[in-house]
Structure 1
Amino acid sequence: MTPGPPETALRDVRGELPLARAALARAARRAEETLAALPGPGRRTEREQAAAAEALDAARTLRCAFLDHHVDAVYDELTAHRTRHARLDELAAAAAAAFPGLVPTEERLAAERALPQAHKEGHEIDQGIFFGRVLTSPLAGPHLMDAMLRPTPRALELLPRFAETGIADLGSVRLERTDGVARLTMCRDDCLNAEDDRQVDDMETAVDLALLDPAVEVALVRGGEMTHPRYRGRRVFSAGINLKALHNGGISLVDFLLRRELGYLHKILRGLLLDDGPAWLPRTRGKPWVAAVDTFAIGGGAQLLLVFDQVLAASDAYISLPAAQEGIIPGVSNFRLGRFTGPRLARQIILNGRRVEAREPEALLLVDEVHDPEDLDLAVERSLDRLRGAAVNANRRILNLAEESPEEFRRYMADFALQQALRLYSSDVIGKVGRFSQGRPPAG
């Protein structure tokens, strides 16, 4: 059995904050010195792997003890007593500077980003510990969630131009406003709209712009036409997480796995948090959203569907969540999917990888309408028109609150932050993404 940290170290990190801060920094330095004396993660013997694991376990036990006693004080210091709204990346950077050894520095993370996933030390797990404890706190957690519902600086910078022209080409996402409809087209034809850090940033920017623009009444998300030989000329909704990027070390915990859920997906569900209205009105401002599924919605693409007000699918499309194959947690699907399908079908989809064809009766638990591909465009326009009603937005707000309370979502995300970080660096995931990342298109 691996020994833990000494009782004196545990007592020190649970003491007064200034002394606890120093004790944590000392413990982190000891762990770093042990790791620095060893070969890299991909070149260690079994004995060296055990020594690294012992050092990391001892340091992480102390981090957890430190945060269990001081998380609110830490968060208050980083956010000026909750008067400053720091996003995930800003909060992590501030924590690394103010509390050495609590989370990895940007320099350490940058060095790890240059490595394949299998060669990383797994310092993002410490970020998972940190954000899990922050989200668990009834004081810090809701404040962080509010910070992530605010518009991004990039969107605010682009808003005047978008409001004037109705067009924003963000790279992996194109946004066009026509007749009160914001049309978000995912256009990563190089990877069948598989998501990575870049696409998460572009999607959140596009969602912000659609919600900020007063000329937008309703929004549509759809995949663009692909150039892949197997799908050339066909629209594709999404192939999920970019496994090649994950294998190469390009999928981050903070900028992808946490930002995606707490950022643009949550904004589609709740709306933007804005402070420009009377104090007595709700602070979040949302709009109706429609999704149109062409060809397939795999993994993260299927997760997206669970936050839309209406989902339409082509009759030759399918939906799947191959979480068991990939080895990671499929976002917030474990929390949301059962509300749509019931628990048994949810387990079949998540644990057994069951693929739901749009023509199956069960598909109508996941989508509102199924149409022949040639009829889908017209059906989408009818759906958009229906959601322009004056009372739609108030009703969708109340429906979303009744179905998913912010507190329940926060508690889920607190556990998800650490569990997903652990999966990201587990040996089975590293082995699987190496096999799944060879450019093979999804089966279809």
Structure 2
Amino acid sequence: MSDDGDTNRYIRIRGDQAELGMFVHAVHCSWIHNPFWRRSFLLISPQDQALIHESVPQITIDLAKGRGLKVMAMADSRDHDDPAPPPEPPAAAAPEPVVAIRPRRRKPPTELERAAATAERAIAAVTRLFAEARLGRAIRTADLLPMVEEIAHATSHNGAALIAVTRLKDKDQYTYIHSVAVGTLMMGLARHLGMDDDDVRVAGLAGMLHDIGKMQVPAEIVDKPGRLTGEELAQIRLHPGLGHRMLLDLEDLDPRILDVCLHHHEKMDGTGYPDGLKGKEISRFARLAAVCDVYDAVTSIRSYKRAWSPHEALAQMLEWEGHFDPAMLRAFIACLGIQPFGALVRLHSNRLGIVVREGESPTTPIVRSFFDVPDQQTLPVEDVATSGDPIIRAERGEYWFGEGWPTLQAEIMAQVAVPEAPRHHLPRARM
């Protein structure tokens, strides 16, 4: 077929007209209902064809890259050397014409929209697998591997976007959303720690499967909107062992996935469960999982508690001495790019300040500045929007202010500071 320009190249048709061999240029439905992660593709899978027939109202096909409708092919296949066929009887109805249109230019989806679509598919995959586990059926972790690959790709570009969308979903889906979020966080942290691609994928699958044992705990306990009784708490604490036994039946499963499932509730001081492991007895992957699991849990909306802000969550986690591997928690904070409340940071303007409030986003909090680095002197306190004066890095209070740092920190955080005057340009860093 010759290409006479875009007007004749792109044709919009009904979804139920989609045929194998067509090149799908665009899918016309809302992004949240789009069953495909690709923007355009050659339709060669009967399963993909069925998805379009069932859930996509219209598609645009590219005639330069694939086949068209049968009625068009019939018209093009006439041999011009043969005598012209007799005219159709007047009573015969002509086929409904297919109108060629120029596709409208649409804005490409934002990173948040792409991440939301990825999260929706991952949550659906985890939900299906966990439903099989709840019914006592054999599970196939291979069903999750494509989602691990997709999330790994998405988080290599913008992990924050994928985590953000998990906070926007229904709290009734908590176990499934939590599993996807923990898998995503674990992949991000594994990558930050310099692990290779295979280890990053193992971390993602371990995170998605870490709570599968909850499918063997009564749902009324898992989803109870209030404080658990002692007996209920004992039952919920069985889920690591239950999940471990379920996963033991699977062939060729990386042993680190089994370890994360069994030991993600262990604590560095030995007060965790189920085995009371302590310090280096806890594997690196389990220590990584413990940080990601708790962070996502406390920043999630639950029926019995409010969600903590990222700054609040990290500040609290830093105070839980003996719970986490300190080095792993510091790496996690650096990986997120989110500073906890009370953290000392250096701003682009070469001022030191303390994170005191949420800002426009988790990575741009309000910082109470009080110290000029080049002049080595205190300044009148100001609350600075770091969207305009970015945080360069975290600093150690003890290095700058010695043993008096905790007292100074408390005094500055207790002050009522006035907002900084608006800045039309970023302040130049003074060296």
Give the shorter-chain TM-score range: under 0.3
Which of structures 1 and 2 has the larger relative contact order (alpha carbons within 8 angstroms, sep 6+)?
1
**Larger proportion of helix:** 1
Query: Which structure's CA Rg is the greater one?
Result: 2
